Structure 1
Amino acid sequence: MQATSSPSPLPALLLPAIAVICAVCALALGTSYAKQLFPVIGAQGTSALRVGMSALVLLILWRPWRWPISTIDLHAVVRYGLALGCMNLMFYMALRSIPFGVAVAIEFIGPLAVALYYSRRRLDYLWIALVVLGLALLLPIRSSAHSLDPVGVAWAFGAAAAWATYIIFGKRAGHLHAGQSVSLGLLAASFVVVPVGVVHAGAALLQPEILLFGLGVAIVSSAIPISLEMYALKRLPRETFGIMLSIEPVVAALAGLVFLHETLSSAQWLAILCIMLASIGSIASAHRARR
Structure 2
Amino acid sequence: MQKPAASGPLVGVALVVGSCLSLPFGAAVASQLFPALGPWGVTSLRIAIAALLLVVIVRPRPGRWTRSQWLTVILFGVSLAGVNGFFYAAIDRIPLGPAVAIEFLGPLVLAAVLTRRLADAAWVGVALLGMVLLGIDGLVGAEALDPLGVVLVLIAAGFWMMYIRLGARVGALIPGNSGLAMGLVVAAVLLLPVGVPTVPVVAADLQLLLLAAVTAVLASVIPYSFELAALRRLPQRVFGVLLSLEPAFATLAGWLILGQDATPLRLLAVVLVIAASVGTTLGARGGRRGDGASGPFTAPIPLPD
> Normalised by the size of structure 2, how large is the TM-score?
0.78
Which residue number corresponds to residue 271 of structure 1?
269
Which residue number corresponds to residue 97 of structure 2?
101
1:131-142 mapped onto 2 (5 Å cutoff): 131-139=127-135, 142=139
Single out whichever of 255-264 and 166-175 deviates more from structure 2. Answer: 166-175
1:77-92 mapped onto 2 (5 Å cutoff): 77-92=73-88
Which residue number corresponds to residue 217 of structure 2?
219
Letter of the structure 2 residue corresponding to residue 49 of structure 1? L
Matched residue SS, 1:238:
coil
**CA 1:18–1:136 in 2, change beyond 3 Å: closer, same or farther?**
closer
Report Cα offsets for 1:234-281 as digits up to 9, x if no partner.
Answer: 8xx637x94765422211211110111011221122223334434444
Single out whichever of 83-92 and 153-162 deviates more from structure 2. Answer: 153-162
CA distance in 1, matches of 2:163, 2:157: 10
**CA 1:15–1:70 in 2, change beyond 3 Å: closer, same or farther?**
closer
Q: Number of residues paired by the alignment?
A: 283
**CA 1:214–1:74 in 2, change beyond 3 Å: closer, same or farther?**
same
Letter of the structure 2 residue corresponding to residue 185 of structure 1? G
Which residue number corresponds to residue 163 of structure 2?
166
1:37-186 mapped onto 2 (5 Å cutoff): 37-65=33-61, 68-139=64-135, 142-173=139-170, 174-186=172-184
Single out whichever of 132-141 and 211-220 deviates more from structure 2. Answer: 132-141
Taking every aligned residue pair, what percent have the same amino acid on both sides?
Answer: 32
CA distance in 1, matches of 2:244, 2:127: 13
Matched residue SS, 1:264:
coil
> Normalised by the size of structure 1, how large is the TM-score?
0.81
Deviation, 1:193, is: 2.4
Q: 2:23 matched to 1:27?
A: yes
**CA 1:158–1:277 in 2, change beyond 3 Å: closer, same or farther?**
farther
Unaligned runs of 5+ in 1: none
Letter of the structure 2 residue corresponding to residue 252 of structure 1? A
Deviation, 1:92, is: 0.5
Q: CA RMSD in A?
A: 3.4
**CA 1:13–1:77 in 2, change beyond 3 Å: closer, same or farther?**
closer
